[in-house]
Amino acid sequence: MYLKNVSNEVKEITEKINELDKENKLKFISYALNLWDSGQINSLNETNPDLLDDSICIDIFNPSSIGYHDLVTKLKEYWNHTYKLYHLYRKEYKSVIPLFEKLSFKEKVDVLAEIFLILEHDELLSDNVDGYEIARMIIKN
């Protein structure tokens, strides 16, 4: 279910995400999207790129990069309403986090595209969000 050629690491993490049950899948995806929303998907893997000296060149990839400023907020509101995501306390998804953290900037962006394919395939998006279109926009960027 890959939208483009991706590294073996991206394939591995995508397979691990798909192996999770719905609740753990959403918890991991929520974690990854929070990183994306806060600018932590960047070329220097900085946790807080806003604190860097302005002279440092850094590529930051976030929802605004594809024209969806409030996408993560809307998705989380939908999941909290539909799946009561805030009530989920399982920890199986946490085993995928170190794999994601070790990826390069480009691979993290690829995983984000794959996440939207997974969400679309598993029908975990509201009707007004097209996961395929978002994945295409992520890859174009």
Q: Where are the domains of the chain?
A: 8-140
Strand, helix or coil for residue 106: helix
Mean pLDDT score, 106-129 = 92
At 5 the pLDDT is 80
14, 118 contact by CB (below 8 A): yes
Q: In terms of pTM, does the model score above 0.85? A: no
Q: What angle do CA 66, 77, 104 make, to 5 degrees?
A: 40
At 90 the pLDDT is 56
The string of pLDDT tens digits covering residues 68-117 is 989 999 998 888 888 766 555 556 778 888 899 999 999 999 999 999 99
The string of pLDDT tens digits covering residues 44-80 is 877 777 776 777 888 889 999 999 989 999 998 888 8
